[in-house]
A = this chain, B = another copy of it.
Amino acid sequence: MRSMDTRGLHYIVEASGCDPQILEDVNKLKEILINAAKVGKMDIRSVHLYKFSPRGISGLVIVSSSHISIHTWPEHGYAAIDVYICGQGSNPEEAIQYILQSIKAKHAHITEIERGIMDEEGLYTHTILSWDEIPK
């Protein structure tokens, strides 16, 4: 069952100063993504991780109507994270905070996009808000 409501929250995050060892550990990242979905109260459908040559991992968790993704560059301590969740009852911000803490990010540039909003002409659009933060 999923919401008929088109509105969703999509967080787009650039994480700096992360722990390189965590960023290249497939099992650890898998555990982090699964726990993030649980912390965010999301309903997991499937989890996919790929390790690239020479370095770096892509991980995706498919949740109902939405997804979490992480793409890592261990050599730069950098990770690109997305959490997109539709409908009520989930906590995407808590999922993001959990991931940032788990990969030991020292800085995050975050953009929150509110998606699937109808404008005055009946067309779907989104709104954008960006900020920087030092993860706790």
Please tell me if A113 contacts chain B, counting CB pairs below 8 Å: yes
Chain B residues in 8 Å Cβ range of A50 = 45, 62, 64
Chain B residues in 8 Å Cβ range of A128 = 111, 128, 130
Which of A14, A16, A75, A107 has the most chain B CB atoms inside 10 A of its CB?
Answer: A14
| B1 in contact with A53 (CB, 8 Å) | yes
| B2 in contact with A56 (CB, 8 Å) | yes
For this complex, into which size category does the number of interface residues on chain A fall? 35 or more
Which residues of A from 33 to 53 have beta carbons under 8 Å from B?
45-46, 48, 50, 52-53
CA distance A135 to B113 in the complex (A): 22
Please tell me if A115 contacts chain B, counting CB pairs below 8 Å: yes
CA distance A80 to B71 in the complex (A): 21
Q: What are 27 contact pairs spanning A and B, CB under 8 A?
A: A1-B53, A1-B54, A2-B52, A4-B54, A6-B76, A12-B12, A14-B123, A14-B124, A14-B126, A45-B58, A48-B62, A58-B62, A58-B64, A60-B62, A65-B71, A67-B69, A71-B84, A73-B116, A80-B84, A80-B115, A80-B116, A82-B82, A82-B84, A107-B124, A109-B125, A111-B126, A125-B132
